[in-house]
Structure 1
Amino acid sequence: MDNYQLESELQHLERVLGHLSAEHRLPLSYWRNRLNAVVAAQLVPSQRTRARKLDEQLRTLEARAAAVG
């Protein structure tokens, strides 16, 4: 992924994960795969920080989904 794609993907994930619930119609694994693709790329420090925050948000959602299970 080039820097433009990474930035676009981070912005999209920030918007979506901010409004996502554990019962969203797309499985959380879909969002996990998209985030993992971003994390696997070469990120600058500010992008790594943003990706870590997204990971924390998604982990919280995944924990809630498991509890509701």
Structure 2
Amino acid sequence: MDNYQLESELQHLERVFKNISAEHRFPLSYWRNRLNAVMAARLVPSQLTRARKLDEQLRVLEMRAPAVG
């Protein structure tokens, strides 16, 4: 991912995570995969800080989510 794509993806995830819940129409695993793709890229320090904050928000949701199956 180039820097423009990373920035765009971070902005999108930040918008989504403001309103996401464990019952969101997309499973949390979908958002985890997208966030993991961002975190695997070469991030500048400010992007890494934002990605870590998103990771923590998602971890909280994942812990609260009911078991599926």
Counterparts of 2:2 and 2:58, CA distance in 1: 24
Residues 1:32 and 2:41 are matched in the alignment? no
Matched residue count: 67
Partner residue, 1:42: 42
Counterparts of 1:19 and 1:61, CA distance in 2: 11
Residues 1:20 and 2:23 are matched in the alignment? no
Aligned identity (percent) is 82
Q: Unaligned stretches of 5+ in structure 1?
A: none
Q: Unaligned stretches of 5+ in structure 2?
A: none
**Matches for 1:54-65 after TM superposition, within 5 Å:** 54-65=54-65
How big is the alpha-carbon RMSD for the aligned residues of Structure 1 and Structure 2?
0.6
- After TM superposition, the runs of 4+ consecutive aligned structure 1 residues lying more than 4 A away are none
The superposition leaves residues 5-64 of structure 1 with CA deviations (integer Å, 9 ceiling, x where unpaired) of 000000000000110011111000000000000000000000000000000000000011
Partner residue, 1:3: 3
The structure whose residues are more often helix, as a share, is 1
TM-score normalised by L of structure 2 = 0.94
Counterparts of 2:35 and 2:42, CA distance in 1: 13
Secondary structure, in 3 states, of the residue corresponding to 1:56?
A: helix
TM-score normalised by L of structure 1 = 0.94
